Every structure is written in C-alpha cells, then in structure tokens.
Structure 1
Amino acid sequence: MGEMKFGIIGLGGMANHHLNLLSKLHDVKVTALCDVNEKALHTVANKYEVPSERRFTDYESLIKDSEVDAIISIVPNKVHAKIIKLCIQYGKPLMTEKPFTVNFEEAVELKELFEKKPIPCMVGFSYRYIPAFRFVKQMLEEGQLGAIRHISVSYLQQWGAPLFEIPFNWRFSKEMSGSGALGDLGSHMIDSARYFIGEFKSVAGMMTTFVKERRVDGGGTQAVDVDDFTSFQATFENGAMGTFVTSRNAIGSGNQLEVTIFGDKGTVKVGCETPDEIEICVISKENLESGFVKIPVPEQYYLNQLQDFIDYVKGTSLKYVPIFEDGYKNQKIMECVIKSATTGMRIDVGNGSWGQSL
C-alpha cells in the first residue's frame, strides 16, 4: 500500500487532535470528511482541500467511498456501534473512539459480526501512546518492580462542577452516551489497568450523580441520567488488587489521569499531564530508605498513535495496539461496574472467549 487515504467522521474538538497527528506523518492524505454540521464540514474541508463530492453529512456514504482506505470516527457514543458495523460490512479499517459502545448488548452484537468478517479496528485508548506510560510498561515487563500487588488509578476533571454552569449536552444523556464519567473517563482507567496489569477478575462499584440537572440553552433545565462520579475496587487474574475513582467534579483538576503501581521491589507513578517523566521508588535489602526520584522518558518510547494505526492496517504492528477485543472487554468491565453499583454486589467479570454475556 502506498499513500493511505483517510476519511474522518465527526469534526468536533477531538478531530483537531487526530488531524494534527496525521499532519506529522508521510504518505497519508485526508480525502473525505463527514459531519452533520455543514458549516464545520466546509471549514475543515477547505483547509485540507477536500473536494466537494467527498464532503458528506451521511457517514455510510463516506465509509463505502472507494477513495477512502481507512476511517477515523470521532462521534458521540451512541453512533459508535453503527459506524463499526458499517466498517465491518464494507471491509474498511477503522480507528474508533472510546467507549466502544453505549452498552454491552451492542458490544456482543458487534463481536458476532466481527468474528465472521474481521477488520483492522483500533479503539481510541490514546493513553497507551503517552511516552511515560510506554516506558512504565517496559519496566513492568522487565520485572523491575517485582511482583505487582496493587494499582491505584484516578481520572479527575473539574468541568462538571456547579460553578462552571455547563449546560446540558449529549454527555449528560444515557441514551447518547451510555454512562457519564465511567464511560468518558473510566474507560481509560480500565484500559490503563489492563495495559499495565492484565485481565480483571471481579469488580465492586459505586456510582452517583452530584449535579442532577443542567440548564438548557433557551431556558429551563433537563435531568441528568448518567453518573458524574464513579469509584470501584477490582481484583485481577494475577492476584493484584486495584482501586479506581473518576469524577467530573474535582476542583483543580484539568485532565488528570494518574496511575500508581505498587510492587514488591518498588512503586512507580505516571500521569498524562506529565507525559515526559515518571516518578519511581525502588528499594533493596541494602537500601530500604530509598525515596522517589523523577526519571525522564527515553526518546524510544515516543510513538504517534495514528502511525501505529497505519502500521497495524499494513500488518506490521500488533504489540500493544488497542484492538477490537480491547474495546469489547473494556465495555464488559464497565457493564460489570454498573451492575455492581446497582445491586450492591461484587461482580465476576469472566474472561473465557472474551467473557460471557451478562
């Protein structure tokens, strides 16, 4: 394959991030765009010189277009499953945003279709491409921390707090998003834990909504029917334990995903807001008083996510790529957290054949 021709569905804020990643790569071209907002569609299309006949408001037309080799989908959660299904139907490689679907039932249906007609499908767990995260992953593989006993993960943002007066939007709707902080932020927490530690065994969760209604532009309010705070504990197949908390009401937190991993020989701290360094404490019998030190991330751990997607499509990269199976398992774990929070019981995840239906 020579130049890879990309079609992008959804031109909201995250589209700028992916277009920026593409701009740093060779032998790629944006040949088609899709958005329901025609003003945004033409503004972006003019910038990237996309011809008028490949400016779509209907995503199926873009997906089946012969001038599109691969799809990047950046749309509200409700549309994820529909686009994945069409990409499977037309045999188009896809990079889809997280969460994988709005619920586990959709994920099960997609799995059945995918097993009959698999395609390259990357799920947008972008924090696997934070250099510091990749550096820590290598340390864990080398056993530098010894046996891993516990992982603590938090993903905190402040924008949902009452003082910011954020109006109602699709992220506050269960129909459109499936869940709130859990799907938006917690999906990244779950993927980070699977990336670093391995498969979940069971979860015990609690969820709540602090801000129960939001103002609607034009007047009035609308009820919020998704969580804005979720916490859960977890056990892993390898015997490790995990604690997780996510909130949209954490004053002082911008985009704060932080992971601490505790092993028999040491502890490491990593966060998305400090992508170029880690904090690590390693002890030995000869030095039990060692403290944390900051270590810069070596250059070899920097990798453009969309370059990895391209290599994946070409069949030259598989290691650590967040693929269809990762999206499916992530959705299963989130569903177990919701079920636990609803019933007050600890829920076994189950990982046989990607996990059985709930």
Structure 2
Amino acid sequence: MGTNKILNIGLIGLGGMSNYYKNLISTIETIRLGAICDVNQELVDKVGEEEGIGQERRFIQIEDIIASSDIDAIVAVVPNNMHAKIVELCIKNKMPIMSEKPFAMNMEEADHLKKLYEESPIPFSIGFIHRYTPSFQYAKQLIDENAIGKIRYIDVKYQQSFGAPFYETPYLWRYDQKISGTGALGDLGAHMIDSARFFVGEFESVTALMKTFIENRVDPATGEEREVLVDDFTSIQAELKNHVVGNFITTRNAVGSANQLEVTIYGDAGTLNVNIERPDEVRLCIKDSDEEPVWKTVEVPEEHRNKSVLRDFASLIIDGEHSNVPSFVDGYNSQLVIESVIQSVENGQLVKLDREEK
C-alpha cells in the first residue's frame, strides 16, 4: 500500500461471526478496530472492555456509528434483513463498507441499492470470504493459466450438519424468513454462487429445487414450536458463461459435514478439486505424460496464503486498488442468481438471467 495510513474500522454486529472479523482485523497492519455497535448494550460493553474500546466509541445505534467522524470504514456482520439498510446509510454518508452476504433480502432492495450506489459510489466489498481460501486463490491462478484446458462442468456443494434432527437446533433467526429471507440458499448457497462466478464466470440460466426437511423447530424464547418457511436444502442446475454446465447442492442437514464447501472443475485437459476444509492443498488430475492421468495433491504456494477480503478492502480504500475484492457488482449479481433460483422453484421452469456487467 502506498501510505502508512491506518484505518479505524467500525464493527456493526457482535454475534458469533464477528469473532472471525475481530481476529482478522488484528492481523492486518493497515486497519484497527476503532468502534463497535450492537443493539445489545451488555454485549457492547463486554466486547468494549475486551478490545479496549472507550465508552465514546461504543454504539447501540447504527446511524451513530456510521456518521462518526472517527471511523474510516464499516464492517457489518448482522442478520440478513439489516444488510440493505446499513449499506444505504453508508452510501448516504459516503462511508466505505464491507457487508456480510447475502447482498440483500430481495431484488427490490438490491435494485434500490444499485441506484443509490451508481449515483454516489463508495469503496464497497461483500463478505465472500471463501474465495480467499489459499487453495481457491491458487486454483484461480491455475484456471487462468489454462492448466485444465477448456472448462466444461463445475460441481459445487456447500454442506453443514447443524440442522440435522438429532442436534435439536432451535428456531434461530436463520430459520425466520422475515429476518433471513432464505435458509441454506442465502446462508451457504451465496458462497457457492460466488465460487462459481469467481472461477468460471456469470450465470446464464438456472433451474432449481428447494426443500424444507424440518418443518417445525422450538423457539427458545417461548418453548413453543414455530413453522420453518425457509429451505433446508437447495439444488441448482445452471448454465454459466461459455456454456459451462454447473451443478450445485447446499444443505445444513448433512450429517458428517462440518463446514464443507467443495468445488470440482472439469476441463478438457484435466480436473481440479478444492475444499475449504483442506485450505492449503489443491487436488489435480491432469494428463501431463503418455500415461493415464492420476490424481495428485499439490501444496498451495506461499504467495497465496496471506490474502483476505479485509486486506483487499483496506487497499481499495487507501490506494484505490485491489486484487480481487468482491465488489458491489459481485454482490448484486449474486443476489440476482438467488432471486432467479427462487423464481425457478416458484414457477417450475428454467430462468434466464439479465445481469449487471462488471
């Protein structure tokens, strides 16, 4: 980066995922945690004491932290129904923001943000953190170098197990359609969509299936069962740029899958496989001799091991440059795919996408 400037980050949302970003902030020399915000005053004070954040930089109102003159950028880690509101406030206050995914609750929100952003653009990133997994970064290099030849087919699955019946997972906000919008699709599927766009290119069309396996879960606040209206499982078949065929499956009910985002890409000259549970290795099956191609495991070079969305976001703010930080357009186009999947399920037909070009 071109200067010695250190950015003060305002962190909105102090739930479980905020721990990831707090730890990440501490590893990047150009940013520091400057302020925190959450609706839970007790949690704000607890985290404030742990992080050495003074009372004057502890907020419970998002409007106040976004308007603060002491803050250089916002990182928002909040439930899905708050994403669009926070991004809108940041645009209106000309405050750089890195927002968690999904981009919005629906295309109405997404289109509104697009209009505001085009009128008054700001440094923006969206939390597609998995494209920064070292193996994903190296795989992207191999694809760009044509290591597996012309790509024909991409297979992606993102599976977790916490929703399986024997875990007795209660009715959390992720199961509340008014807060989450969708279930596995927006939670995990958004990362599948970004991975495919990162490696291959834009989606051209989708057909999909969505299912709710566990139709009722116990609300811990009342002890009563509440109906679950979001998906436990989504399957997508798609055509992407250059006629690449895609197959996608996501669920939070896959027993034995801890946090399994796995991508396999099939080309004319070979196949490539990456998995975020194996962050430092790429599996390749490439014909590089007269013998039959065989699978081999390749270690990720050191140059790909210290990248992160926040590091690139800081570079974007300070220098106006970045490597491959997920942009506003990435967030918008991902939302368009999600909306098209829902539309396909509702109408029982293939949906062609009209997307925003980069």
Task: Give TM class, smaller chain.
Answer: over 0.9
Query: TM-score when scaled to structure 1?
Result: 0.96
* Other-structure match for 2:232: 228
Alignment of 1:275-294 (within 5 A): 275-284=279-288, 286-287=290-291, 289-294=292-297
The question of 1:107 aligning with 2:115 is answered no
Which deviates the most, 273-282 or 50-59? 50-59
Q: Unaligned stretches of 5+ in structure 2?
A: none
* Contact 2:30–2:314 under 8 Å retained in 1: no
Contact 1:21 1:305 in 2 (8 A): no
Q: Secondary structure at the match of 1:262?
A: strand
Report the number of matched residues.
353
Aligned to 2:190: 187
Q: Is 1:12 matched up with 2:19?
A: no
4+ residue segments displaced more than 4 Å:
none
2:312 pairs with one of 300, 305, 308: 308
Match of 2:241 in 1: 237
Structure 1 residues 158-307: aligned runs within 5 Å? 158-217=161-220, 218-284=222-288, 286-287=290-291, 289-302=292-305, 303-307=307-311
CA distance in 1, matches of 2:339, 2:346: 11
CA positional deviation for 1:37:
1.3
Q: Distance in 2 between matches of 1:38 and 1:146?
A: 55
SS at match of 1:204: strand
**Partner residue, 1:351:** 355
Extract unaligned runs of 5+ from structure 1.
Answer: none
For residue 7 of structure 1, give the secondary structure of its aligned residue in structure 2. Answer: strand
**Which secondary structure does the structure 2 equivalent of 1:86 belong to?**
helix
Shift of 1:320: 1.6
Percent identity over paired residues = 45
Cα distance change of structure 1 residues 27 and 327 upon mapping to structure 2, 3 Å threshold: closer
Shift of 1:353: 5.1
Task: Determine helix, strand or coil for the equivalent of 1:205.
Answer: strand
Q: CA deviation at 1:351?
A: 2.6
Structure 2: distance between partners of 1:52 and 1:352: 43
- 1:108-132 per-residue CA deviation (whole Å, 9 max, x = no partner) reads 0000000000001100000111000
- Residue by residue, what CA displacement relative to the aligned partner does 1:71-116 show, whole Å, maximum 9, x if unpaired? 0000000000000000000001001000001111100000000000
Query: How far apart, in 2, do the equivalents of 1:316 and 1:82 lie?
Result: 25
Single out whichever of 11-20 and 78-87 deviates more from structure 2.
11-20
Match of 2:29 in 1: 26
SS in 2 for 1:189: helix
Matched, 1:82 2:51: no
Alignment of 1:149-164 (within 5 A): 149-164=152-167
Shift of 1:318: 2.9
Aligned residue identity for 1:237 = K
Query: After alignment, is 259-268 or 42-51 more displaced?
Result: 42-51
Q: 1:178: how far off?
A: 0.9
Quick check: 2:162–2:253 contact (8 Å CA) kept in 1? yes
Distance 1:63 1:147 in 2: 46
- 2:168 corresponds to 1:136: no
